[in-house]
Amino acid sequence: MVNIFLRLLLGHLVGDFVLQPLWLALSKRKGWQGLSLHVAIVVFVTAIMIWGVVSCWWFWVIVLFLLHLFIDQFRTFVFVDNSRGKGVVFFVLDQFAHVVSLAAISWLATGRPPHPLETMLNASLPQSDMGLLLLCLLVAAIWVAPILEIELVVAVMSYRQSAAEEGQTAEIEPIRLSDRMMGAAERLTGMALMMTNLGAAVMPLAFLPRFVWMRRQATSDNWRAVALKTGVSFLATLLMGMFLRGCLRIG
């Protein structure tokens, strides 16, 4: 069951984050055409990941498409007000719903109880499953964490909106390649340091270069954004590192 769940999760992460450029993220917020294209890409990648490892493959591909479309349409047509911090809440709830749906499909497709987290932390994972887990963490470190950073920054800054701006949909912030790469480097370095005995003591040092770089580029008005992005990156790295240590039985 864990293998199927990790395959589904990796396919989701690649399709939902790696293969979702800014133009597609903007397009899916405008209507069914962009939304359907995005969902088709996610399901295509996920379908490849589970090809040959689940019975009734076509049935589960259709279920994946319908579930992903159902979940994502709320962000397009229902929860469109991202002001006053709502955007980050919707983002977290959206991803939580996707993960729960993937766990449910893993359970129904294999007939085994959906306890992937408990299994990963309490049993030795086969090498193939560990490889899938590491790939999931890699995608999260490079592509998911920057989205969470931006969402939180926009959420906090949106509290400064005037009454006239209340209810307006926030613009999707582009992520610069240099910022993405530096953020990925600090998170991957931080996780690697956490796998060592000195991890807790030296891990924070991994976040200094990007913090200094962002602080030098920031104006006096957006120092909060620098602090928030650094804090989110640090917390995400800490959680992923602790989870990986648990899976690897370190400490």
- The stretches of 74-194 forming alpha helices (DSSP H) are 86-110, 116-122, 127-139, 145-158, 177-194
How large is the greatest C-alpha to C-alpha distance in the chain, in angstroms? 58
d(CA 57, CA 59): 5
Q: List the Cα angle 203/242/224 in 5-degree steps.
A: 55
Task: Please state, in angstroms and rounded to a whole number, the distance separating the CA atoms of residues 29 and 202.
Answer: 42
| CA 231 and chain centroid, separation | 16
Q: How far apart are CA 218 and CA 162, in angstroms?
A: 23
Domain boundaries, the chain: 2-124, 145-248
Q: What residues contact residue 61 under an 8 Å CB cut-off, 6+ apart?
A: 43, 46, 47
What's the residue count for the chain? Answer: 251
What is the C-alpha to C-alpha distance for residues 247 and 118, in angstroms, rounded to an integer?
A: 10
Cα–Cα distances in angstroms (integers) from residue 32 to residues 39, 84, 205, 208, 225, in the given order = 10, 26, 45, 43, 33
- Reading the chain (251 residues) residue by residue, the pLDDT tens digits are 788 999 999 999 999 999 998 888 888 888 899 999 999 999 999 999 999 898 889 999 999 999 999 999 988 888 777 666 677 888 899 999 999 999 999 989 887 765 655 666 566 778 888 899 999 999 999 999 999 998 888 877 776 654 445 545 555 667 888 889 999 999 999 999 988 877 777 888 999 999 998 888 776 557 888 889 999 999 999 999 988 888 887 76
Structure tokens at 103: 């766990």
